Structure 1
């Protein structure tokens, strides 16, 4: 039986050194597998494409059609960049059986890619499978999730024991599984996708610039009868938010708010989206009250709840009547993408 082919796609946006490290790990793990690696520079505009191409040539990675470095004509975000990589296909013009998406700051451990391939090969109803992801310090990262909901938004913002216990079945982040598990969705840091599934449901929705694109893809897959799985035997080391700077946001960026709003409106309708936003705000107010009473630490970017409501109101008003834009609610793109 012929083993299926894999196209590993690594998306770079102004992180060439991390991308080279991820590429080195991917090439090592792809050495005995059928397929290729492609680096997609997401129109970085900072010399990344030239740096990556030169480094690949110098290291001999371009020999034997095992690696290509290509450049997207625009920076349309994570989903658009991955769509561009999937459209590139294999170097002989054919399409692979599986696409393996790997963050530029993620480094697969031995047999991580092979385990994902074997799982999809042996599980016909599985459309996607993700890895166990841990930080460079060994800390496990939550990458197995339930789909977001009104109750889940409230619980995530309230961060209160009694509420979490009452809404246990709605908590978005699952306890980190220790064995293979079917999940609602999993993160795209290390994610293998069946080509047949992509052909049946379509690529990433490029309306999402960053965040919620994997959630939306997994929801569309589930509606079409495909399953998403989490496979802890496949291990990947991940720097985490190295390119987005999410852990250091001074204010929540509008692209996150836009993606969240689009996800809820697209999948549940505008009324549900409004209710989810109110639930998130209400939960956040509970947390703010707890902070006042018991000196709890700040967990959200400054003015998060204010920015959340302003964003929702701007989207709800007719275009001609929208209030002036808050100059502090920035549209500036992150210096890097995932």
Structure 2
């Protein structure tokens, strides 16, 4: 029996993006597809346009801009699928994109899977948000197959193997609804950025696996919510990554990461100041400050769940900046620990 898939697309004043990208989603070749657009109180006529032009789309109208995490969680109430695909509003998909992802979840041990993400305007090159599957380094800094920091590789088929990954991108992620709900969904305190990494970490801790299936590929514009270099993006990434560590690791493990991150974030702050980027420096400072407040209020119970450490024992900043390892394939395989451990 073909499982029903609900595609949830969160948008805020993104009507132009929906006009460009939604038709490809609606043209998906899959027999039991439901599309839900979660409208975060847009003022650009998004909901009205959808009602007039695409009445087949379910519109979840939120009373405020609930950002990515809460916007997606709340839209589940309007979704009926046993599988849920969280898809950004700036993603174009080919007709056959969904079937390989659904097939990956035929493995009862797999909770979530992502496609390969390429740039919408240069489909020979990986896209920043998820590329071909994500990992975390020893300081909980994320990177992906196909993208380390700003180095975006050309797709030559080098990462076309379907495999387990530490995290799947929230730009295009298919997940079992029951696993998502049992894990608590996206952490709404995150707002946006790294909430999908936190979710995947919790799925691994609960005994699930997370995959990438490059037989499915989609095309992502990227930067539609917050472009690279935006201080607000820096703030969320700094804050949420630290909170994520505190949520998912025992205190002794987390403390080691926090010590390393204090140095790393301090260097990033000093670099921003030296380059005259006061807003960036302030975003790092505020991100660390607010993370400390959020961590102090956490009530974390790790009893009974597995200790799952970051997947790469090395430090990706040192690898990229000091050793010139700008491609995932340049990283020593001996530094990767088995996933789920």
TM-score (norm 2): 0.71
Indicate the structure (1 or 2) with the bigger Cα radius of gyration.
Answer: 1
Q: Deviations over 1:264-315 (max 9, x none)?
A: 2211256655543442342356679999xxx99x9x9345655555556666
Is residue 270–residue 281 contact of structure 2 (8 Å, CA) maintained in 1? no
- The reply on whether 1:193 has 2:175 as its aligned counterpart is yes
Stretches of structure 1 lacking an aligned partner (at least 5 in a row): 90-94, 157-171, 319-338
Is residue 203–residue 209 contact of structure 2 (8 Å, CA) maintained in 1? yes
- 1:10 maps to 9
- Aligned with residue 100 of structure 1, among 85, 103, 106: 85
Secondary structure of 1:211's aligned partner = coil
**1:309-328 maps to which residues of 2 (within 5 A)?**
310-311=289-290
Stretches of structure 2 lacking an aligned partner (at least 5 in a row): 147-158, 298-341
Is residue 277–residue 312 contact of structure 1 (8 Å, CA) maintained in 2? no
- 1:221 maps to 203
Counterparts of 1:289 and 1:261, CA distance in 2:
19
- The reply on whether 1:75 has 2:65 as its aligned counterpart is yes
Cα distance change, pair 6–145 in 1 and its aligned pair in 2 (3 A): same
- 1:141 maps to 127
- 1:332 maps to none
Question: How many pairs are equivalent?
Answer: 279
TM-score (norm 1): 0.71
- 1:152 maps to 139
Counterparts of 2:22 and 2:83, CA distance in 1:
18
Q: Deviations over 1:114-137 (max 9, x none)?
A: 22112213x221111101111122
- 1:261 maps to 242
Cα distance change, pair 258–287 in 1 and its aligned pair in 2 (3 A): closer
Cα distance change, pair 17–179 in 1 and its aligned pair in 2 (3 A): same
- Following superposition, the deviation at residue 104 of structure 1 comes to 0.7
More helix by share: 1
**1:107-186 maps to which residues of 2 (within 5 A)?**
107-121=92-106, 123-136=107-120, 137-138=122-123, 139-141=125-127, 143=130, 144-147=133-136, 151-153=138-140, 172-176=142-146, 177-186=159-168
Cα RMSD of the aligned pairs, angstroms, is 3.2
